[in-house]
Structure formats: C-alpha cells, structure tokens
Structure 1
Amino acid sequence: MRILVNSDPGSADRDNEDWLHAGENLVAVLDGATARTDTGCLHGVTWYARRLGENVVELARDLSTPLPTALAQAISRVAEEHRGTCDLEHPGTPSAAIGLVRFYPTSLEYLVLGDVSLVVDQGGRLSVVTDDRVSRTATAERVEADRYPIGSPSKTAALLAMKHTELAARNVPGGYWIAEADPTAAQHALIGAAPVDDRTRLAVLSDGAARAVTLGLLDWPGAVNLLCSEGPAKLIARVRQAEAEDPHGTRWRRNKCSDDATAVYVDGFAGTQ
C-alpha cells in the first residue's frame, strides 16, 4: 500500500487547525471549524481537532467498533477532558469536520461528517462523498459576504453574521452536523462501504485542499491523477498559487484567502493485508 500525505497551514502566523492520521488500516482527516466568535473554551480549535483525532483513531482500530460508535465515544471522551474548565454549552464551542476510512483485505468503510471530501476511484469509476449540509445554511449571509473583498471591514462583519447563523443551525434537525460536544452528532454522519482491488485509488481532503476542485482548478479525476503522479504537496501548491493570485477573493469568492489544507492519497491495496 502506498500512502502519501501533506498538511499545510493557511497562514504562517496561525496554528494548523487540520489534523491527520494515515496508517495501513486507517485514515483520518479532521478539519477544525474556524472560530469567528467566542468559544467558551480555554483550549482552542487546534487542540480540539487533535484530541478528537487521537481518540477516534484509537477507538476505530478495534474492527468490531462501528465507525459512528468510535466517533461518538471519541466526542464524549474529549468533552470529558475539558468539561470542568470550559463551557461546553457555549454556542461556539470548538468543533471539527472528519473523514474516516478503515481498510479491510477486499473492502473499505468510511464515515464523513462535515465538509471533508472522500474520493474513491475504482478503475476510472469515481465516487465523491462530501457532506455539504453546512454550505446549505446561512445562504443569505453567504451571498452578502461574497459581495466584499477579503480583508475589508464589510467582509469581516458579514462573515461574523454568517457564523452566528451557522452556529444556530449546528447539530439541529434541518441544519448541519459536525463533531463538537454532543456525541449524538455521530449518528448523522454519512457512512458507506466500497470494494477495493489493485485499481482502487482513494483520497481524503479537508475543504482547504478540496479548493483544487471547488475553485475550478481541476475536476475530481484530474485531482486524483495529480495526487497519484505528483503527490498531495503538489495539489496543495496548486491551490496556494491560485490563492496568491487572487488575495482579495474577487475572482474566486471565498471566506478567507488561504485555508488550512490537508490531503491523504492511498493506492496499492492488493496484497497489503
């Protein structure tokens, strides 16, 4: 099995709020949700994504534990770690999207919660799993935020309004679901399974790396081919080049110039287990 990984912070002066694990039997990519408001937490988004990732990987290594159960238990564990010091009822309490893939000799199973993308290529037959429920919330506020250039006071105000509306829709029926302090969110993850053979190629990307497709730089087959031939660092470099060419977001409308970007690519499944 060949596993290629790269993770790059969106800014040199901020911690990377993405986290990854890539092993022979398990891949996890977590994308900590940007906090534009108070969180009620002393630890922050980077800490939350790391601790959730470490716990879910430990639990998911037990093949008898269903992936949603592993995620629910990990959410509960991390909540208990900071329940005494932090306000977990705060509407802005740290949260993270997650993509989790577990491999078997002839198959894989996956879980996606929040805006992490999973791509499975079965000899040219491509399946993409993306949880876009968050992007279907705060629609009017998103349109308003897109009117302004990145870095402007109007953009900042519009993004704050958007965030408040997003948070009101977080982990409630009709809204979107993401890992934070309530383990029941795991019940709303997108789950599935697929066969694997020597033609299978797989990628898991945070939304910062998925900009290679969402900005229109590549399509999904092109992104997988680039990951295969030149690796995740090259894919992220393509994204960074586009971001640098459009720092104010006037060509490609987005919330911030550069986002944390993480990509994991896997192939060579046959005979690995």
Structure 2
Amino acid sequence: MIAHSAQLAARSDEDRVTTTDNTVIVLDGATAHDPTRPQAGKYVDELGKQLRQRVPNSDDLRAAVAQSISATSEQLHLVPGGSPSSTVAIVRVTTHTVDLLVLGDSAVIVGTLDGSEHVLIDDRLTRIDLPESRAYRNRLSTGAGYDDQHRDLLQQLQRAEGRQRNQPGGFWIAEADPTAATHALTSSYDRTQVAWAIAATDGAFDLLPQLGISWQAVAELTSPELHELLRRCHAWEAETDPDGKALPRAKRHDDKSVVVIHP
C-alpha cells in the first residue's frame, strides 16, 4: 500500500491521520461550539492510538472500533453523553480485499479499474434535518455571516444534536459508548479491482467539489500536491465565500484532511 496525505488545521486542530503498512485511519474530532463542552484533541489522540493497535489485523472492523472506543473511554475516564466525540474513516488493504468503515460524516471514495467511483459516507446526521441546522444555514445563505447570532445558533444546534447522538433514529459517532461502532457503515472490494481510494474529513470532502476537481484527479496527487490543494480550499473559503453564503457551513474554516491510497 502506498499512501499520500495532507492536513491543514483550522483553529480547532482536531483532525488526525494515522497510517500503518496496510491501514489508513482518519479521525475528525467534533468541535465544541459550547465552551462548557470538552474539546476533542486528547480524545482523537487516544482513539487513534487504540485503533492503530487493533484495526490492521482485526477480523471484524466494527469490533476493532468498539474495542478502541471502550479502551479510550477507560483511559480518559469518559461518560457517555458528556464526552468528546469523533468521526472515524478506515481504509485497510489486505491480501485479497480493500476494507472500508465510516462512522460519522467523514467519507471514503473508491475508484475501481472499470472507471467507476463509489462513495461511502455516513449522512445520518444530515438526514435528521434538525431545525437548528436549517436555521443557521438559511441565515448564512442570506449573507448574515459568522456573527454572534450564528454562534448562538451553533450552540443550540450542538445541544439538539447531543440528544440525537448515539440514539436509535439519530446518528452514530465514536464517543464513550462502544456500541456505537456496531452501527458503523462498512464495505469491501476485491483488491485487484481497486485502482485507488481516498479518505477525507468533511472539511475537505465538502470543499473540493467547489474547486471543480474530480476525485480521479485528486487520486493522482502526491502529498505536497495534496497540501497545495487544501490551501486552495482554504483560500476559496477566505476569498470567495468568507461569509458562507455560497456554501453554508458551521465555520469559515474547518480542519481539512485527505489521504490517497493506492493498494
């Protein structure tokens, strides 16, 4: 396996990329918009370490993620419902397969030798369609920008999301309850049919289409070229859409991580 990667941190700096000889793990810690909520930095550091120990040789990716969440919760003394959280995206290359897992809204795109592209993304949080989410996006689309009212709406949204997090009918994400991992989305491909795979946090996944760049083109980039691409995303946010009017998003700049994998 050959992997090229790049990261560009925003203020939160809570994305993490971990690689082994056969595995790529991408984490995106949830930003705490409410200052009373815990930050995710220590959580993603520990979760990444635990996943690195278990995922590469596990017979069951969901079980490996569950065990890693449990170990992280024990190590950091976390309580379900009141702890930091993170998305998880995994690409693992074995002798015969390329195995994928996503939990939360990071994404994996797979390009196969027949020219097809396949996207694995967990959109359950989006499908809940919370009114607080609609409210802040509607304000941004009218040009209101990132003002105090926007920040108040994000705090309301985070409280509303907390009531739906790791609940039936809600959405699932790595936090303190390992049973969330049983709801992760998985997929597997014949290794001989995979040309490339890309793992990306939403800060990159949502922005790259705005630049008009195909995933096939992204898959051809090296690490320095990927870093330059993320800088272009950052510049687009700052110069073309600084108020989130064209692409309503919670923050002007989010952490951005992207990894290109060649099996």
Q: Deviations over 1:117-161 (max 9, x none)?
A: 000000211100010111123531112112143421111111111
Deviation at 1:224, TM superposition (A): 3.3
What's 1:139 paired with? 130
What's 2:23 paired with? 26
Counterpart contact for 2:110–2:194, Cα < 8 Å: no
Matches of 1:206 and 1:58 in 2, distance apart?
Answer: 22
Matches of 2:165 and 2:30 in 1, distance apart?
Answer: 11
Deviation at 1:27, TM superposition (A): 0.6
Counterpart contact for 2:54–2:68, Cα < 8 Å: yes
Under a length normalisation based on structure 1, what TM-score does the superposition of the two structures give?
0.87
Matches of 2:58 and 2:177 in 1, distance apart?
Answer: 23
Counterpart contact for 1:96–1:178, Cα < 8 Å: yes
Highest relative contact order (Cα 8 Å, sep 6+), 1 or 2?
2
What's 2:2 paired with? 2
Partner letter of residue 69 of structure 1?
A: A
What's 1:106 paired with? 96
Matches within 5 A, 1:15-94: 16-37=13-34, 41=38, 44-64=39-59, 66-83=60-77, 88-89=79-80, 91-94=81-84
Deviation at 1:253, TM superposition (A): 1.1
Deviates more, 1:192-201 or 1:236-245: 192-201
**Change in CA separation of 1:154 and 1:191 when aligned onto 2, cut-off 3 Å:** same
**Change in CA separation of 1:45 and 1:217 when aligned onto 2, cut-off 3 Å:** same
Gaps of 5+ in 2: none
Deviation at 1:39, TM superposition (A): 5.9
Q: Among the aligned pairs, what percent are the same residue?
A: 31
1:96 maps to 2:86: yes
Matches of 1:232 and 1:200 in 2, distance apart?
Answer: 18
| Structure 1 runs, 4 residues or longer, greater than 3 Å off | 38-41
1:168 maps to 2:168: no
What's 1:217 paired with? 211
Partner letter of residue 142 of structure 1?
A: S
Matches within 5 A, 1:171-210: 171-197=166-192, 200-210=195-205
Deviation at 1:239, TM superposition (A): 1.2
Q: Deviations over 1:205-231 (max 9, x none)?
A: 000111234x63336xx1331341354
The SS at the match of 2:252 is coil
Partner letter of residue 124 of structure 2?
A: R
Counterpart contact for 1:97–1:114, Cα < 8 Å: yes
Gaps of 5+ in 1: none
